[in-house]
Structure 1
Amino acid sequence: MGAVTRVGVLELVAMALGGPGGPGDGTGPGHDWGAGARYVRRTLGALIEPAAAPGADAGHAGAGRTGADAGAGGADGGHAGAGAGRAGARDVGGAGDAEGAGRAGARDAEGAGDVGGAGDAADPGTGRAAAGAGAAASGDDSPGDDARLALLWRRALAAPEDPRYLRALVDGLLERAPARPELMAGLSDLVALVAHQDPYSPGTAPSPTDPGRPHRPPETDPRDPRDPRDLRGPRAAAPPSPAQANSLTGGTQVHGPAIQAGDVHGSIHIHTAPAPVPVALPDPARLPPARPPALHQLPPVPAHFTSRGPDLAALGALLRQKPPTAPLLVVVNGPPGVGKTTLVSAWLHAVAEEFPDGQVYADLHGHSAVAPAEPTEVLGQFLRALGAASVPAEVAEQTSLWRSMTAGLRLAVMLDNAFTAAQVRPLLPGGPDSVVVVTSRNRLTGLGVDGARFHPLGVLDSDASLDLFARGVGRRRTACEPVATRRVVELCGGLPLALCLAAARLAARPRQPVQAMADALGRDAGPLAVLTVGGEAAVRSALDLSYAALGAAAARLYRRLGALPLRTFDTRAAATACALPEDEAERLLDELIEANLLEDAGPGPDGFRFHDLVRDHARAQAAAAESPRSSDEAVRRVCDLYLATATAAEQLLTPAQFVLSRDYAHPPAAPAPFSDGASALRWLDGQRQNLMACVRTAAERAWYDTAWQLVDACWPLFLRLRYYDLWIEAHEIGLACARLSRHPEHREAERQMLNSGAIGLTAARRTDTAIGWYEDALRAARAAGDVRGEGQALHGLGTCHHDAGRPERADAYLHRAIGLWESCGYVRGVGLSLIVLGEVLLATGRPSEAVDRLVRAHEVLAGVNDPHDTTRALALLGRARVVAGDAEAGLAELDRALGLFSAAGSLHWQARTLEMLGESAADRGDRAAALDHFERALALHETTSPADARRVRDRLGEVAGGSGSGG
């Protein structure tokens, strides 16, 4: 039940008025949420006008098809949402352990998002409609009040774009609900279903574990709400603090209104009302994903941005001339330091209202010392920002999902520092109402075939350069030395970066004449250097002067930061690099920012970054002034810091996992504790590129133990967020380093890398390669006498051969795995292999044998408190029973599994269970029910797996055309 607050009801009404098929059809105060919006609109309408609502629209009772499901065939029929935005387990390949037991792993982060549409309606409303609402809410409980509320509802439906009606309707609902308990209860249920969750929360799914990564039994509440064996209801919420508690004691039962107060002045009137009418909870699987809030990822605009009026006007003209059938694509190219990023960021900030769905940003690192960003990396970042439940492995599927998710959006996309057209092309959104702006030192003419418009950005002219320089130094000061000022501007070559560096140095030395800066630049640059193509010499001269003006400690920090492999860093990383206290590092970082040598990106782990040219300069200074040993020490200190912090996140996110040793050349101070699993996963996600840079650097410098331990610590990142390319690359590096290591645990590390890497390869559908890794793991486990590890490898081989359509080989491997796990007492592994074996038997036409194996799997997994896998066994058991001829028992088990997966937010397994229900309906010739289930499964798969969505879409076509029964 949700609290009936104004904000909650605003979100609810905005969703109802903005859904498809309704008057707003996605253009009103909310957005298009699909079936969930239709459900909310019809249910809210039934609450407001109960007499006018057809029975089929009154709601969907229960989760799944159990009980008196009055709404199972209602108006929502078929378009499944995404379970209030929850992203559950995804089991790539269609079988096996969704938590990583030789399978794809699980991403159980909760979906993010604000339902949207409520922000513009936050004031109480004015005008005639509001007056009507007030009249409707005043006076006694009479039919006239309900009639006025119904009138407001109909007016809001007729004009959903008018915020006056939305506000008046919200006022009316809030004032009328206390007198109508059934309305209050219904609003409470709907508000709870619309509420969004944290996208990084580990949520209600169990901690991902797999047979090959030893785990400890988690300590769970005796009433685990995710446990299919426990029907006592969810655990109680924590009580309020004593300062906030307010209770009626003595076993008192209260029916109806109750008032508690310290003092009462005047009269209290309580209007009695009829007994509450039970309002059935809707099926969570029918709700859509909560839409994430508008994104605002653009870099900030510097305070001294100026003098780009003609360029801003030209970009504005391109926007007005944008093609009607495709997104506008603009390439802003120019030399380094000319201000491309600042111009584009300033322009997109200025036109933000044109793109209400927000702005997304990615640095493609096309001209930096770090590796250029791959399209798959950026697509994963964008898809998750938009609320995708999980991201496909292949770039083609990622691109397809990205274009599908952006087809109806108005987004501004900024792609900074591109190197090639191939980097950009997969990142183009799907709808015609978005704009993409690319910055690059290259012209990127290859994007011309994609309709790109090109805007070359030149250096500032002399007047604009003078203006920018004077703003940084002070106009009175430059007016006193006009000749010297013009000379500085001339030597800076019209490059904003060089001008800002020179101005920052002078601003820090208020007594230094401008002429001194002119003389220094002239000595360092010389007339030939100033004319160097691209202007880099001018920037280099300005950087040399700014660096020379630093204090010794700040200069040392500058050099050591330049030696790091990180794209961004925070105060703690900077302090670690120089072995300084954090407050001292913060002071030195401020000195670098004042000198314009460092960019302040705001609070958090990405707090500071270098411009590409500045990073190159800092690295050159480190090579010239630091010994290789001191540079290595700085880098290794930071690698140790990242290892310690990632390990802390791993222990919080996967407490049941066995953790290999951690060794530190420079043990860091204990990392600041994460407040919860969501913050730990958020840190891993935000720092994934820095973590991978540390892995690569450690391997290159032969710090083999650091490299494989970093990979091991990143396990929750790979398993939950499924960055396939990083997952596989990291384990390839980790495996090579484990084999080169002389660590006492290097054999265990090798087997860990093989098993964890094979899980990633299986998830990425690289089945043949995964089989090779599992075969290596099998040999390694046998050589070490590791019976449990041998079972894990055999389980993985069985799963891979099942996915590859080789059931006989799968059957043999799985039976061997079960035998080994029984011999060493690993009960959970037995259950997991029995699940896959049941699928093999079902796929090969032996449903009775499948029932036997799945009954045992269900019993075994229930006995080890593994709710997720117990429910997977239950779902497959239900389908096996239906195929074996026991349809009544099988459908009941499928219904129960669907309800449990819905409660846990497991999108993938909700969709798979709906597919099984659809096949079962097709088997008995109930085409309408089959279509309903398949359509709901399709809507869920569209948020998690384009490949699964295509398969279900094809099956829908077969059933709609009347061909084929279940399989």
Structure 2
Amino acid sequence: MTVAVLRADEAAWRVLAGLLPGEDIGSPAPDDAAAVRIVAHRLARIAASRPELGAALRQWAAVSTANIITGGARVVGTTVQARDISGGIHVHEYGHHDSRLPVPRQLIPAPAHFTGREADLAALDGLRAAQRDTGVRIVVSGTAGVGKTALVSRWLGGLAPMYPGGQLYADLQGFGDDPADPGVVLGRFLRAFGVDHVPIALAEQTALWRTVTADLRIAVMLDNAYSAAQVRPLLPASPAALAVMTSRRRLPALGLDGAAFHQIGVLRSEDAVELLTHRLGRERVASEREAVQGLARLCGGLPLALCVAAARMAARPRQPLAVLTGAMSSDHDRLDALDAGGDRAVRTALDDSYAALPPDVARGYRQLGLLVVPEFGPDHVAAACDLTPGGAVRLLDELVDVNLVEELGHDRFRLHDLIRDHAALRAAEDEQPDARRAVVRRVLDWYLATATAARRLLSPTHRQLRRDYVFPPGHVPAFADEATALMWLDTEQIHLMAAIRLAAERGWDATAWQLVDSMQPLFLRRRPYDLWTEAHRIGLAAAERAGHPEGVSRMLTTGGSGFYNVGDYDEAIAWFTRALEGARRDGDLRAQAQALHGLGQSHRLAGRLEQAARLFRQALDLRETIGYARGAALSRLCLGDVALASGDAAGAVDLLTRARAALLAVPDPYDAARALAFLGLAHAAEGIRDFPAAEACLRQALAEFVRTGSVHWQAHAMEMLGGTAADRGDPGEARDWYEQSLALYTPLSPTDAGRLEDRLRSLNRS
């Protein structure tokens, strides 16, 4: 047994203060035992984070926590103090006893096959550096199964030497059936630092935790947090501490506590393949590389899905990987296919996230799983979920906050493929069939109304056909100008095509052909030829099934235009001939003129100029008879083009000048620009050869096509300018125009791009 005695005089405190410059250690009275013990505990904490002072501080703490015997005398070790003793006292102590607890090292290990995430690790390093002097608090959020825990475990594991006071870990189970109570977690944390008597009340536990951690350099990982309220009591008080929270929610309220935020996304495709390679072995992956890439794609880069898929295939070493890929290729079977020995981890994780949603948000989540488009905005959500625009924004905010919806920026959002599958499954389980159909129908009606509004703005002189709505949309975007309307049609063209296909598949035939009709400005100005012809084949069949003669006529004429633009003149003539027969049967002079005009253009592009001129004149006569000024101007425009091709430049100038004036008067700026472009060619033709006038017309036409957003005609005008430059003997300028034209044509039309490449090759040979 050892007994040490220290007199607590002023000199001793001065020595202690010299060891700890800048530290507030207090100065208790020599006979104040409670105050001395508080200082001793504080010094013990400092010792844990200051190894160079540890020995001296621990020695003083041991001395100063002795029982006070008298006045300034203190003793440590085994002590007996009594007035009277009867009988013997036996005190035995064998060897040296060290009652210090080990420094807690509770972090869970990072996965053995951790892959990628270099950008995320660098981002966390940056957030830590930015907060280093004020205490680091970081929230790492992301959807279920995206790898938040693995990332943070890997990152904190590399920082362990920088936090010698210890590393603590707690799974808060925020999305399970029984979330962790902060008081229970605090009790574990406090006991890890040697606190034997933990208060019962949470407020007292929190105060003690702040006291214990006030000077410690520790790292705390709080995994699967649900809310800021669950996290706040567990945050360490030391400005040198690091606390990292992972959550499926963004937890923005922790910003009030100084937290920084990092959102984690899915793995890149190459990292997803590498993760599968680690799990399955390089030899197996090398033999089925294509299947592995397909599996990574079907898992959408979600680490949990990748690990589950790898576990399933690892348990079946003789089964080709293509078997699982095939099973997952069906959207409805994808989640069921991710079943590793009965452990349906992916669906369970998503079910937990779903169960935590408020009822109205859960309903919105289910309905978004029925959307026909992979990306969407608040307007789509308002239509699908029958909400006001403000209600749609609030729903998206809730779903983004819990990382079930991914924000892409500029009011664009999406569901991860597996999350969309899950939402659709929940809709199948929790929504009635009529309710599910209504969601889809509302979205299609919204697309029809919005595309029709864009068409009306872009083609105000075109005859508006009927529109049939089951759920007339309460809110349709107001387009500021033509450019905005055309941009919307361009952005949504793939989604509009999906809506057309779905409407036809569901038997909603009126919606199908009317959607096709609403896309007409896009077809004319952007020239997506494959979509143009596909859409009209679907639209024509739908209009015929619906028994809508005006729809059949419109599909035949606008569809025929698509066919002659792709060079399928025989198909175009067949469509326009059917349109002409139907119009004559119905006595519709306007429709007859439209069909004759289309037949004329088909023959013109096929090189049959006399037939084309005859048909255009017939169309012109009908249009003038019924007083259709715009149609008559278009027929003159086409007759001017035929005259130009026939060598009658002067006649072409007259026809085109009249056509442009009439189109400007309508007004129809797009077709007026077309007339001006042909007029430029006429000025450059033999017999006139007024190159300055030609180039002035073509440059002005190009500027007008830019304003109307017609990329195809911008390219065409550049091609015309190149040809004019070549005709006047300037191959350098011709090459510049041809190269600019080719750059615009390449993504639009392989046929036109091929023609420009031929022109450039010919120019280079000359």
Q: TM-score, normalised by structure 2?
A: 0.53
CA distance in 2, matches of 1:953, 1:576: 46
Larger radius of gyration: 2
- Structure 2 unaligned regions, length at least 5: 1-109, 122-142, 152-264, 278-282, 312-335, 707-712
Q: Does structure 1 retain, via aligned residues, the 8 Å contact 2:532–2:562?
A: yes
Task: Please give the residue correspondences for 1:546-945 in structure 2 after superposition, counting only pairs within 5 Å.
Answer: 546-604=353-411, 606-607=412-413, 609-742=414-547, 746-847=548-649, 850=652, 853-854=655-656, 857=659, 861=663, 869=671, 872-873=674-675, 876-877=678-679, 879-880=681-682, 883-887=685-689, 890-904=690-704, 905=706, 907-918=714-725, 920-921=727-728, 929-945=729-745
The one-letter code of the counterpart of 1:578 is: C
The one-letter code of the counterpart of 2:715 is: H
CA distance in 2, matches of 1:554, 1:856: 60
C-alpha deviation, 1:539, in angstroms: 0.7
C-alpha deviation, 1:837, in angstroms: 2.9
The one-letter code of the counterpart of 2:537 is: E
CA distance in 2, matches of 1:766, 1:536: 55
Which has the larger displacement, 575-584 or 635-644? Answer: 575-584
Q: Does structure 1 retain, via aligned residues, the 8 Å contact 2:613–2:639?
A: yes
What SS does the aligned partner of 1:765 have? coil
Structure 1 residues 822 and 574, CA gap change in structure 2 (3 angstroms): closer
CA distance in 2, matches of 1:343, 1:920: 67
Q: 2:65 maps to which residue?
A: none
What SS does the aligned partner of 1:751 have? helix
Flag the structure with more relative contact order, 1 or 2, with Cα contacts below 8 A and sequence separation at least 6.
Answer: 1
The one-letter code of the counterpart of 1:545 is: D
CA distance in 1, matches of 2:409, 2:360: 23
CA distance in 2, matches of 1:945, 1:416: 35
What SS does the aligned partner of 1:311 have? coil
What SS does the aligned partner of 1:601 have? strand
What SS does the aligned partner of 1:805 have? coil
CA distance in 1, matches of 2:584, 2:553: 11
Structure 1 residues 755 and 417, CA gap change in structure 2 (3 angstroms): farther
Can you list the C-alpha shifts for 1:842-861, whole angstroms capped at 9, x where unaligned? 43445565556446545655
Structure 1 residues 611 and 640, CA gap change in structure 2 (3 angstroms): same
Can you list the C-alpha shifts for 1:419-439, whole angstroms capped at 9, x where unaligned? xxxxxxxxxxxxxxxxx9997
Q: 2:345 maps to which residue?
A: 538
C-alpha deviation, 1:897, in angstroms: 0.9
What SS does the aligned partner of 2:116 have? helix
Q: Does structure 2 retain, via aligned residues, the 8 Å contact 1:339–1:496?
A: no
Q: Percentage identity across aligned positions?
A: 40
Can you list the C-alpha shifts for 1:375-412, whole angstroms capped at 9, x where unaligned? xxxxxxxxxxxxxxxxxxxxxxxxxxxxxxxxxxxxxx
C-alpha deviation, 1:632, in angstroms: 0.9
CA distance in 1, matches of 2:744, 2:718: 10
Task: Please give the residue correspondences for 1:147-162 in structure 2 after superposition, counting only pairs within 5 Å.
Answer: none
Q: Does structure 1 retain, via aligned residues, the 8 Å contact 2:735–2:763?
A: no
CA distance in 1, matches of 2:535, 2:295: 39
What SS does the aligned partner of 2:375 have? coil
C-alpha deviation, 1:754, in angstroms: 2.0
Structure 1 residues 762 and 310, CA gap change in structure 2 (3 angstroms): same
C-alpha deviation, 1:619, in angstroms: 1.7
The one-letter code of the counterpart of 2:583 is: A
Which has the larger displacement, 844-853 or 786-795? Answer: 844-853
Q: Does structure 2 retain, via aligned residues, the 8 Å contact 1:495–1:535?
A: no
Can you list the C-alpha shifts for 1:482-537, whole angstroms capped at 9, x where unaligned? xxxxxxx9xx9956999xxxxxxxxxxxxxxxxxxxxxxxxxxxxxx999459982
Q: Does structure 2 retain, via aligned residues, the 8 Å contact 1:338–1:458?
A: no
CA distance in 1, matches of 2:546, 2:337: 51
Task: Please give the residue correspondences for 1:408-487 in structure 2 after superposition, counting only pairs within 5 Å.
Answer: none
Structure 1 residues 919 and 704, CA gap change in structure 2 (3 angstroms): same
The one-letter code of the counterpart of 1:683 is: W
- Structure 1 unaligned regions, length at least 5: 1-304, 317-335, 345-413, 419-435, 460-464, 469-488, 499-528, 922-928, 963-967
Q: Does structure 2 retain, via aligned residues, the 8 Å contact 1:695–1:730?
A: yes
C-alpha deviation, 1:729, in angstroms: 2.4
Structure 1 residues 717 and 584, CA gap change in structure 2 (3 angstroms): same
CA distance in 1, matches of 2:337, 2:517: 50
Q: Does structure 2 retain, via aligned residues, the 8 Å contact 1:640–1:668?
A: yes
Q: Does structure 1 retain, via aligned residues, the 8 Å contact 2:600–2:611?
A: yes
CA distance in 1, matches of 2:266, 2:566: 26
Q: 2:222 maps to which residue?
A: none
C-alpha deviation, 1:881, in angstroms: 6.0
CA distance in 2, matches of 1:441, 1:698: 40
Q: Does structure 1 retain, via aligned residues, the 8 Å contact 2:597–2:635?
A: yes
Task: Please give the residue correspondences for 1:234-253 in structure 2 after superposition, counting only pairs within 5 Å.
Answer: none
C-alpha deviation, 1:625, in angstroms: 2.9
C-alpha deviation, 1:920, in angstroms: 4.0
CA distance in 1, matches of 2:453, 2:369: 27
What SS does the aligned partner of 2:369 have? helix
C-alpha deviation, 1:879, in angstroms: 4.7
CA distance in 1, matches of 2:675, 2:517: 29
CA distance in 2, matches of 1:809, 1:948: 25
The one-letter code of the counterpart of 2:443 is: V
The one-letter code of the counterpart of 1:940 is: Q
Structure 1 residues 591 and 909, CA gap change in structure 2 (3 angstroms): closer
Q: Does structure 2 retain, via aligned residues, the 8 Å contact 1:807–1:840?
A: yes
Task: Please give the residue correspondences for 1:26-105 in structure 2 after superposition, counting only pairs within 5 Å.
Answer: none
Q: Does structure 1 retain, via aligned residues, the 8 Å contact 2:116–2:271?
A: no
The one-letter code of the counterpart of 2:616 is: L
CA distance in 2, matches of 1:589, 1:863: 46
Aligned length: 477
What SS does the aligned partner of 2:550 have? helix
Q: Does structure 1 retain, via aligned residues, the 8 Å contact 2:683–2:693?
A: no
C-alpha deviation, 1:573, in angstroms: 3.2
The one-letter code of the counterpart of 1:616 is: D
Structure 1 residues 840 and 915, CA gap change in structure 2 (3 angstroms): farther
What SS does the aligned partner of 2:507 have? coil
Q: Does structure 1 retain, via aligned residues, the 8 Å contact 2:650–2:682?
A: yes
CA distance in 1, matches of 2:519, 2:341: 41
CA distance in 2, matches of 1:760, 1:788: 20
C-alpha deviation, 1:631, in angstroms: 0.9
Q: Does structure 2 retain, via aligned residues, the 8 Å contact 1:593–1:600?
A: yes
CA distance in 1, matches of 2:649, 2:149: 64
C-alpha deviation, 1:667, in angstroms: 2.2
Structure 1 residues 829 and 562, CA gap change in structure 2 (3 angstroms): same
Q: Does structure 2 retain, via aligned residues, the 8 Å contact 1:308–1:343?
A: no
C-alpha deviation, 1:943, in angstroms: 2.4
